[in-house]
Structure 1
Amino acid sequence: MARRERSRLPAPERRRQIIEAATALVAERGFWGLSMQDVADACGLTVPGLLHHVGSKDGLLIAVLEHRDAEDHRAIGDPPPSDLRALCAALVRRNATQPEIVRLFAVLAAESLAPDHPAHDYFAARQQGVLDALTALAKPVSARPEALARQIIATMDGLQLQWLRAPAGTDLVAMWEAAAQMLFAGPTASAGRPARSR
């Protein structure tokens, strides 16, 4: 039965199915609570059949994370908005449509603080990459671009946690827009325009 079902899907479609099933399970249970048997069952596969597509549990986790990043890049646009405030707004709007994925990243980001977590290096590199990208975009609008980039990341992450805790009564996009008014105001930053020289 499992063999017949497996033959119906081309390898890329099967891999996408596996990633989607694993994404939902990790968002619900965290990586340490993830069972390869549960992922296999969700896809109508045996565990060896599952491993044929992803290599290992660690490989599956990295595939889930990389798939999410690729999907976000496609949704936001290629190239993405070059205006810092517009990019942040696009990211928040995107995240507001996918609470399960945001929960997945929140859970894994916390778990991966442990040095032996398989996603530890991935999240460390991703955090630095995001910081570098936002810092570069902040240079035209802030005298302290790295500080602004760090404040944006902290604000976005904090608002998302509040939203995940109480999604029914929380408007993530509205909360971000209110925070952005403060982040992009003042003598060193403006709403997407270079700060005026004195």
Structure 2
Amino acid sequence: MPPSSSTKRHRMTAAERREQIVEVATEMVAKHGFNGLSLQEVADAVGITQAGLLHYIGTKDGLLELLLDDRYDRQGTPQDFIDSGDPAATHPEGISLPAYFRYLVAFNEARPELMELYMTLGVEATDPRHPAYERFIDRPDQVWDYYSTFTWRLPPEVMAAGGWETMRPLVEMAIEAMDGAQIRFFRRPPISLTEEWARWEAVLFPSPVWDDYR
């Protein structure tokens, strides 16, 4: 007697299987690093053969690209902030930069596995032989170029000094401060990332210049 429809196993779509692979690999790389990652272990964890895994990722380096492109870089973006409908993101004059960074910090704090993934890969990629080495070297340029595709609402003092084009040092310092706070987040005793960021925001975006632009 054939199994009823209620007992049939759900066959994953290609997109669902790829998402499953990325989720499993994210956890493995965050905990153990990419260098020691076994594709067979990933395949076993998702319940497919290694040949089946390679069908979705191509190569081990292809899996790394999926982790960075689909799992990390495409989440918590300025566009996501706009899509959230937050008034600070949808102001007619542009996005509030301090508000976006608060959004990003809260987003990351709710997803510690993504922070672990990024930190683990960032340390490994200091080795020129690592497949993500050039990517991390180029990351400041890539982030700046991407942020520059959006319109940001800036105080008159900043606009008078040259506007967005003068903001790169501040943006880079903010991201570096965020990276440091994320390391402390995983230490003991743990800290609140959002509370720690509030302290940094007061320094990076001081009153009274930024008070009406938060």
TM exceeding 0.5: yes
Q: CA deviation at 1:179?
A: 1.1
Residue among 178, 181, 186 paired with 1:164: 186
Which secondary structure state, in structure 2, belongs to the residue aligned with residue 39 of structure 1? helix
The structure richer in helix per residue is 1
Residue among 99, 114, 126 paired with 1:86: 99
Aligned counterparts of 1:156 and 1:16: Cα–Cα separation in 2: 27
Aligned counterparts of 2:151 and 2:101: Cα–Cα separation in 1: 11
Q: Is the CA contact (8 Å cut-off) linking 1:84 and 1:134 kept in structure 2?
A: no
Bigger Cα Rg: 2
Residue among 170, 193, 196 paired with 2:213: 193
Describe the shift of the 1:79–1:100 C-alpha distance in structure 2 as closer, same or farther (beyond 3 A).
closer
Q: For 1:160-183, what per-residue CA distance to the aligned partner results, in whole angstroms no more than 9, with x for missing partners?
A: 1111223x5310000001110111
Opposite residue 174 of structure 2, the aligned amino acid is I
Opposite residue 125 of structure 1, the aligned amino acid is D
Aligned counterparts of 2:83 and 2:109: Cα–Cα separation in 1: 20
Describe the shift of the 1:137–1:126 C-alpha distance in structure 2 as closer, same or farther (beyond 3 A).
farther
Q: CA deviation at 1:53?
A: 0.8
Alignment of structure 1 residues 127-146 onto 2, 5 Å: 127-133=140-146, 140-141=154-155, 142=158, 143=161, 144-146=166-168
The equivalent residue for 1:66 is 69
Describe the shift of the 1:97–1:176 C-alpha distance in structure 2 as closer, same or farther (beyond 3 A).
same
Residue among 9, 24, 27 paired with 1:21: 24
Residue among 56, 59, 79 paired with 2:59: 56
Describe the shift of the 1:113–1:79 C-alpha distance in structure 2 as closer, same or farther (beyond 3 A).
farther
Residue among 143, 151, 154 paired with 2:176: 154
Aligned counterparts of 1:41 and 1:77: Cα–Cα separation in 2: 39
Q: Is the CA contact (8 Å cut-off) linking 1:138 and 1:145 kept in structure 2?
A: no
Residue among 42, 46, 65 paired with 2:45: 42
Aligned counterparts of 2:31 and 2:174: Cα–Cα separation in 1: 27
Aligned counterparts of 1:99 and 1:155: Cα–Cα separation in 2: 17
Greater length-normalized contact order (CA 8 Å, ≥ 6 residues apart): 2
Q: Is the CA contact (8 Å cut-off) linking 1:21 and 1:42 kept in structure 2?
A: yes
Q: For 1:66-121, what per-residue CA distance to the aligned partner results, in whole angstroms no more than 9, with x for missing partners?
A: 11222333753449931110110000010010111101001111211222211123
Q: Give the count of matched residue pairs.
A: 188
For the pair 1:184 / 2:205, whether they are aligned, the reply is yes
| TM-score (norm: length of structure 2) | 0.76
Structure 1 residues without counterparts, runs of 5 or longer: none
Q: Is the CA contact (8 Å cut-off) linking 1:184 and 1:190 kept in structure 2?
A: yes
Which secondary structure state, in structure 1, belongs to the residue aligned with residue 126 of structure 2? coil
Q: CA deviation at 1:35?
A: 0.8
Residue among 77, 81, 100 paired with 1:76: 81
Which secondary structure state, in structure 1, belongs to the residue aligned with residue 103 of structure 2? helix
Describe the shift of the 1:78–1:118 C-alpha distance in structure 2 as closer, same or farther (beyond 3 A).
farther
